[in-house]
Amino acid sequence: MSGSGVRGTVTMHDVAAAAGVSVKTVSNVVNDYPHIRPATREKVQKAIDELGYRMNLSARSLRQGRTGIIGLALPELSLPYFAELADSVIRAAEARGVVVLIEQTGADRQHELDVLTSDRRQLTDGLIFSPLELGPDDADALKVDYPLVVLGERIFGGDWDHVTMNNVDAARAATQHLIDQGRRRIAVIGAHAGETMGSAALRVLGYQAALAANGIPLDPALIVEGGLWHRATGADCVARLVESGVEFDAIFGLNDALALGALHALHARGIDVPDPVAVIGFDDIEDAAYTSPTLSSISPGREQIAQEAVDLLLARIAGGGDPYRRVIADFTVVPRESTGV
């Protein structure tokens, strides 16, 4: 009866006793230590099976100083892009034998700072961090003493690994796509006024570059501010755009949630898509393929980002003092009905 059904009761000692070996030998077996006599291994395995032994991971963590858990800090899972990113990160982690602890920062600056120094960092071997509010001034806060991989381009050049995409080029490509469809009065929604390094600023830069490359004058009235990149913000941006009376024949949503909100607001006002107004988003979330009309977007290579991030983090955890790396994921333009393709 001993231990059967009672959680965590069977220890290596029990297995060792049952198999007539020492605990070290049991440890060797469960850890696939190379030099074990087959007969010994078999004997131990038999005892393990019969007793239903499960390793106590807390004990192992204490001893090794590692938990086998990695942290993933992101704004919120109810934003489809981050839900899909989390999905990919969890899959990548599972394939590599680690599990993922998710923390939501709610796009709150203080919360983003807290997550870096939280007690929970004790529980994880490293952190994949996708900040939304921290900026260049917070670089010091990111100088932490555990393995860290930062997603996005908000903060450059620190002592940590970085996985991002080329926001400028991708936004330029999105804008160029609209221009290629004959659009000249292209509004961009979700801009962040004071920002210089965030995704918003970089994507607006790409937008401006595309206009310039095509000799299209930049009209500041077409750049619409919008804080949180939620659907509601996108709808609100379009409302303000329409009320302002400025003419436009296309909208570039700085992410898909904004673009979805835009589609909704345009529909509510009886403005058809793609004519007279074309719409493109950014992120290529699953929704984009199912809206009416379907939403053109930029696919940021989410799977690649997730895998690179996990690989970099695990390499860092494994202890390489390698130079910090900066991985730039590929993107592609995904044309759909909302841009008339």
Which one of residues 43, 135, 146, 326 is an interface residue with its own copies (CB under 8 A)? 146
Which one of residues 24, 96, 143, 269 is an interface residue with DNA (CB under 7 A)? 24
**Does residue 7 bind its own copies (CB under 8 A)?**
yes
Which tokens go with 312? 């970099």
Which distant-in-sequence residues (6+ apart) come within 8 Å of 81 by Cβ? 255, 256, 257, 283, 285, 302
- Rg of the chain taking only CA atoms, in angstroms: 26
Which of its own copies, DNA, none does 24 bind, CB closer than 5 to 8 A by kind? Answer: DNA
Do 306 and 246 touch, CB atoms closer than 8 A? Answer: no
- Residues within window 264-293 making contact with its own copies, judged by CB under 8 A: 264, 267, 286-287, 289-293
State the binding string over 82-121 for its own copies (x if CB under 8 A, else -). -xx-xx--xx--x----xxxxxx--------------xx-
Q: How far apart (Å, rounded) are the C-alpha atoms in residues 339 and 129?
A: 33
Which of DNA, its own copies, none does 317 bind, CB closer than 5 to 8 A by kind? Answer: none
Is residue 275 packed enough to be buried (19+ CB in 10 Å), middle (13-18) or exposed (0-12)?
exposed
Which one of residues 30, 173, 242, 341 is an interface residue with DNA (CB under 7 A)? 30
Q: How far apart (Å, rounded) are the C-alpha atoms in residues 224 and 211?
A: 16
Which one of residues 40, 104, 118, 166 is an interface residue with DNA (CB under 7 A)? 40
Q: How far is CA 76 from CA 84, 153, 270, 278, in A?
A: 11, 18, 32, 29
Residue among 229, 225, 222, 218 nearest 192 (CA): 225
Query: Between 57 and 218, whose beta carbon lies closer to its own copies?
Result: 57
Q: Which residues bind its own copies (CB under 8 A)?
A: 5-8, 54-59, 61-62, 65, 67-69, 76-78, 80, 83-84, 86-87, 90-91, 94, 99-104, 119-120, 122-123, 145-146, 231, 235, 260-261, 263-264, 267, 286-287, 289-294
